[in-house]
Chains A and B, each alone.
Chain A
Amino acid sequence: MEQIEENLQGKLELLKGEELLVITKATQLNLLGQVFRPIFSGTVSDVQLGHITLTPVIIKMVNAPFYRFPFPLSIPLEQIVSYSTDVPSDMAFPLT
Chain B
Amino acid sequence: MVQSFNDKKEEGIIHYFRKNIGRRAFMLTEAFPFMFIGKIKSLVEDMVVLDVETTSVPALEGKEWTVHIHSIEVFYIETGIGAKIPHLKDS
Residues of A within 8 A of B (CB): 8, 24-33, 38, 40, 48-51, 53, 55, 70-79
Contact = CB atoms under 8 A, between A and B. Distances in A.
Nearest to A71: B83
Interface in B1-24: 5-6, 8-16
B12 A48 contact: yes
Contacts of A71: 26, 76, 83-86
A49 B8 contact: yes
Interface residues of B, number: 30
B63 interface: no
B35 A24 contact: no
A45 B52 CA distance: 27
Contacts of B77: 74
Contacts, number: 90
Given A29-B73, A77-B9, A78-B9, A49 B15 contact: yes
Interface string B67-88: 0011011111100001111100
B30 A27 contact: yes
For the complex of A and B, the 3 pairs showing the least CB-CB separation, nearest first, are: A50-B12, A49-B12, A50-B13
Contacts of A40: 74
B10 A78 contact: yes
A8 B26 contact: no
A87 B5 CA distance: 26
B28 A29 contact: yes
